[in-house]
Amino acid sequence: MDKKLISTKEIVKKFNISLQKVNHYTTLGLLEVAARNKNTRMYDETKVGQRLEAITKLLKEGYTLRLIRSKLSGK
């Protein structure tokens, strides 16, 4: 099964989060860039959906983004 790649703009539209949040999560290592298409970062749509769901749940439980990164990376 081919993974579907989506751009930052598509993430903003589909998952209803801000561009700044996508950039911040990428910088922190919470979202992984799967490929680049010229100047556009491309992400695996399935992984992004799963990650955003996990991040939202953990934020509601009171975790900081740094703790969430540790928890999701298994470190």
The domain that contains 27 carries what CATH number?
1.10.1660.10
Q: Where does residue 25 rank: exposed (0-12), middle (13-18), buried (19+ CB within 10 A)?
A: buried
> Which strands, in side-by-side order, build the sheet including 5-7?
5-7, 40-44, 33-37
28 or 74: which carries more pLDDT confidence?
Answer: 28
Range of the domain at 57: 5-73
pLDDT at 8: 95
pLDDT, tens digit, for every residue of 17-70?
999 999 999 999 999 999 998 999 999 999 999 999 999 999 999 999 999 999
Looking at the structure of the chain, the number of domains it has is 1
- Say yes or no to pLDDT of 1 above 60: no
pLDDT at 2: 61
